[in-house]
Every structure is written in C-alpha cells, then in structure tokens.
C-alpha cells in the first residue's frame, strides 16, 4: 500500500485537478509531498523501531497510514489533501523500515533470503503496477470522483492488515529504553529535505529556483556525519551508526548500488506514462497495461531469486542488472524505431526481460546488504538503505522527465526520440549500478577464495564470527 501510493496517484492527477479546481503546481504536491515525507521519516523511524520495539512501531504506523488515507480521500480542498498526503507519507516512511528489520530479526539463513524474496517481489510489483491499479480504479469509479477511491481503497486493506499484523507479528522485547539522537534526526532530516526538495519540485522549475539547497544539503549531511562520530565517541547510541558504512562488509556498496539502480528503475514509469498517454493518446488503464510485463517478470523472478540468493550471492544481482540493462536498451531502440501504433505491444518483450532482471536486483541486494548488520541496528540500517532508494527515485523521476521534455522541445516534438533518449539514460544509470555490483562480486569471490568466506545464507552468528 505505501509504495503503491507513490505511483498510483500520478494517474489520477488530472482527475484531482478537475475535481478540486486547482492548478498543476498545487496538485503536483499531492505526489511530491508524499515522496518527500516518506524519505524524511525512514531513518528516524528505523531507529525508533530499534529502540522502542518494531511490532509497536509497525502497528502504530500502519494505523496512522490507514487514518490519513481516509482523510486524503475525504479532503474537500487541495490544501487539506496536501496536508493529508504529507501525514500519509510520514506514516508510510515510519512503516517501511520495520519490514526489513522484522525480517532481519525473525529469520535466519536461507529462510531470510526467501523472506526478502517476497519483500522484493512486493517492492517491485507495487512500484510497477501503480499506474494499472490507478487506471482500473478510475475506470470503475468514474473520472469525476474516482480519485477519492484511490485513497479509500486503503481503508479495507489496511484494517485487514492491522488485524493480521496484531495476530501474526510476534511480541519481542526491545530491551531498555535508549537515548534517541534528536540532533542527528534534525541534521539528517534537514539534509535529506534540502537534497530532495529541488528534485520533487523539478516539474515546476524547482531545479533552477532551489539549486542553492544542494550545497546546503551537502553541508548538513557533512554536519550529520561529524555529529554521529561525536555521539559514538561519547559512548551513546547514534541515529545511524557510521560503522555500518566503514566496518560492515557489503553495506556501503549495497546502499550505493540500490540508490543508483533506483535512479533508472523509478524514472522510467513517469516517462512511459507521459509518452503513452500524451504522445499516443492511451487511456490511463491502457498505459498501465503496456508496462505490466515488467511487473509480472519482476514478481515471478523475485520469489525465485529469494531461493537462489543463498547459493549465488552477489552474482545474482550481477545477472539481474545485466538483464535490466539489456531490456531497457532494447526498449529504447524499439520505441525509437517501431511504428507508434504498435509501440505498446512491441515493448512487452523487452520490458518483460527487464522485469525478470529487476526481480533479481532489489530483494537479493537487500539480503546481501543487510546480511552482516547486527539485528540491534536492523531498523536504522534498513531505513538508511531505503532513504538512498527514495533519493535515487526522486533524482531519476526528475532527471528523466526533464530530459524527455528537453529532447521533445529540441527535436520539434518528436515523441519517439524523447522517450528513447530518456529510457536509454535509465539503462545507463542501471549500467553504473552493474559496475558497482561487479566490483562487490569480485571482492566477495576474492575473500571467499582467500579465507573461506561465509555463506551469505549462513546464520548471523556464523557470519559475525567470520568477519570478527
């Protein structure tokens, strides 16, 4: 639900604009505000889950998400809708890191890989099928008030999820109440806000207007790093333990890989939706169905990947990223060369190939990145990993859409050249993630050959003993 709500609303923006009588800039904040609040909440909420108990945080955040979904659906004005979306984004960001942390806490060995396989399948499907689900809801509920049902649909699903979570998630003792690093929260929150705001505002000229926030964001993140070191030196618990990046095998490269991959992976959906709907006159539902092969390929391969990751390790992400690069490169060529009247059908095979590869990227990367993280840090580690993905996602969506419109303007409104350039750039971003994966895979092989490295599916204490 929380990830669907990033992409599902994009389809409904014209309907919201007509229903509430607002301008495009105002309605853009319905999408941007949610993405921004989501990214801001991840690391602090992960740390709170580590300190106060993940089950408690999960249930509280899920209840808040359902409540704010209802408020968004009932909003009588654009302003109230934006406020409800900001609150809904904070709740979603508080919910997300508890997932990966609970998997870390409750599963071991190959079982953990399978659990992350289902987790990755959910991430891949919900990101990719948002446009289809949005199109179906609008088709059933009608254009005028259909957008409200995009939010109301979360109520019955959320209530069922709450009942199941209360029954099925085991109670675990979080241990003694720990110090929460509020200065760290403020510095990291300010840094993420400064880096993401120009990106999420890109469509309304945010990059030109707010460029000065990038150096400010860099300064705040640097201040955050220095502060966290000071907190560690004083023997207190930091918001994000920087030893994760320096001492935890595979964490820094896995986080980098995830961020770079999401630049390409997240950016293509908006570009394809604009091309199919504005360029070719597809309905929202037809546009969504055209990209469904990616979601289907991703869903099936992620579940299979969860079983393979213990055996293949980082090699699985290398294979997956190679398939995504090939699939997106072929998609760009097809969109450039085929007759526009058959474009929707022509891209199904290359998008299916990219989707199969995509299923072997997100969940195996999460498994491999978090495998050596101590369970006490699982929430903040998972939160930091997903924050990188959110920033990559904002960067990809803003950058690829900007490139699409720039090529469109420079080529005399050649839609095919514009979409091909944007998808080819996404493939280049995924190729950069592939380079990171190859370096990490070779390092893993060297350490395994040299000292009999641990099996990535081994229990925590075996891996910890090996690295110790």
In this predicted model, what pLDDT tens digit does every residue of 146-187 receive, in sequence order?
889 989 989 999 999 999 999 999 887 666 556 677 888 888
pLDDT of residue 68: 95
Alpha-carbon distance of 123 to 117, in angstroms, equals: 10
CB 153 within 8 A of CB 70: no
The more confident residue out of 359 and 349 is: 349
pLDDT of residue 455: 45
pLDDT of residue 175: 61
Alpha-carbon distance of 445 to 345, in angstroms, equals: 41
In this predicted model, what pLDDT tens digit does every residue of 51-66 receive, in sequence order?
888 899 999 999 999 9
Mean predicted confidence (pLDDT) in 395-413: 82
In a 13 Å sphere around the CA of 189, the CA atoms on its Cβ side amount to 16
Mean pLDDT check: name the lowest of 201-205, 228-232, 349-353: 201-205
In this predicted model, what pLDDT tens digit does every residue of 288-307 receive, in sequence order?
888 889 888 888 888 888 77
Mean predicted confidence (pLDDT) in 277-284: 83
Average pLDDT, the chain: 83
DSSP string, 10-54: HHHHHHHHHHHT--HHHHHHHHHHHHHHHHHHHHHHHHHHHHH-H
24-52 vs 78-106: helix axis angle to the nearest 10?
Answer: 30
Helices then strands, counting H and E runs in the chain, come out as 21, 0
pLDDT of residue 450: 62
In this predicted model, what pLDDT tens digit does every residue of 331-353 receive, in sequence order?
999 999 999 889 989 999 999 99
The more confident residue out of 354 and 414 is: 354
Alpha-carbon distance of 449 to 441, in angstroms, equals: 12
DSSP category for residue 242: T
Mean predicted confidence (pLDDT) in 20-36: 77
| Secondary-structure percent of the chain, ordered helix, strand, coil, rounded to 5 | 85, 0, 15
Instruction: Domain ranges for the chain, please list them.
Output: 4-171+239-467, 181-238
Q: Which residues contact 345 (CB under 8 A, 6 or more apart)?
A: none
Q: With bands split at pLDDT 50, 70 and 90, how would you rate the model's confidence at 202?
A: low
- Domain 4-171+239-467 fold is Growth Hormone; Chain: A; (1.20.1250)
% of the chain residues with pLDDT over 90: 26
Mean predicted confidence (pLDDT) in 261-276: 85
In this predicted model, what pLDDT tens digit does every residue of 101-142 receive, in sequence order?
888 888 887 788 788 878 877 877 776 677 778 888 888 887
Secondary structure string (H, E, C) spanning 85-111: HHHHHHHHHHHHHHHHHHHHHHCCHHH
In this predicted model, what pLDDT tens digit does every residue of 206-223 receive, in sequence order?
777 888 888 998 999 899
Mean pLDDT check: name the lowest of 216-230, 388-402, 407-421: 388-402
The torsion angle over the Cα atoms of residues 8, 428, 314 and 327, rounded to 10 degrees, is: 70
Give the count of beta carbons closer than 10 Å to the beta carbon of residue 93: 29
């Amino acid at each position: 639900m929380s990830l669907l709500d990033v992409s599902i609303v994009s389809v409904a923006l014209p309907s919201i604009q007509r229903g509430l009588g607002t301008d495009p800039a105002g309605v853009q904040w319905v999408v941007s505000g949610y993405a921004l609040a989501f990214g801001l909440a991840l690391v602090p909420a992960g740390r709170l889950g580590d300190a106060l108990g993940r089950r408690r945080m999960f249930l509280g955040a899920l209840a808040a998400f359902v409540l704010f979904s209802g408020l968004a659906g009932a909003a009588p004005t654009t302003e109230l809708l934006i406020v409800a979306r900001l609150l809904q984004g904070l709740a979603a960001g508080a919910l997300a890191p508890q997932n990966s942390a609970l998997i870390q806490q409750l599963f071991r060995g190959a079982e953990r890989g399978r659990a992350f396989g289902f987790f990755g399948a959910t991430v891949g499907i919900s990101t990719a099928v948002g446009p289809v689900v949005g199109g179906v809801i609008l088709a059933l509920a009608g254009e005028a008030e259909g957008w409200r049902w995009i939010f109301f649909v979360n109520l019955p699903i959320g209530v069922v999820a709450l009942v199941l979570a209360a029954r099925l998630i085991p109670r675990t003792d979080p241990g003694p109440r720990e110090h929460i690093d509020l200065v760290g929260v403020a510095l990291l929150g300010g840094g993420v806000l400064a880096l993401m705001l120009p990106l999420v505002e890109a469509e309304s000229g945010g990059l030109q207007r707010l460029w000065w926030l990038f150096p400010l964001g860099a300064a705040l993140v640097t201040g955050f790093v220095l502060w966290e070191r000071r907190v560690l030196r004083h023997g207190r618990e930091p918001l994000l333990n920087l030893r994760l990046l320096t001492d935890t095998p595979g964490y820094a490269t896995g986080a980098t890989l995830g961020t770079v991959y999401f630049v390409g992976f997240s950016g293509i959906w908006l570009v394809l939706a604009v091309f199919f709907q504005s360029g070719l006159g597809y309905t929202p539902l037809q546009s969504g169905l055209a990209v469904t092969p990616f979601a289907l390929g991703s869903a099936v391969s992620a579940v299979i990947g969860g079983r393979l990751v213990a055996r293949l390790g980082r090699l699985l992400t290398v294979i997956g990223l190679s398939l995504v690069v090939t699939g997106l490169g072929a998609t760009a060529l097809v969109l450039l060369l085929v007759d526009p009247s058959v474009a929707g059908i022509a891209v199904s095979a290359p998008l299916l190939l990219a989707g199969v590869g995509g299923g072997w990227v997100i969940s195996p990367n999460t498994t491999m990145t978090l495998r050596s993280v101590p369970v006490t840090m699982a929430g903040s580690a998972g939160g930091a990993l997903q924050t990188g993905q959110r920033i990559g996602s904002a960067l990809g969506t803003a950058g690829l859409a900007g490139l699409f419109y720039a090529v469109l303007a420079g080529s005399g409104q050649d839609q095919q050249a514009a979409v091909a350039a944007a998808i080819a750039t996404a493939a280049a971003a995924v190729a950069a993630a592939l380079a990171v994966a190859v370096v990490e895979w070779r390092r893993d092989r060297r350490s395994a050959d040299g000292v009999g490295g641990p099996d990535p599916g081994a229990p925590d204490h075996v891996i910890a003993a090996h690295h110790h």
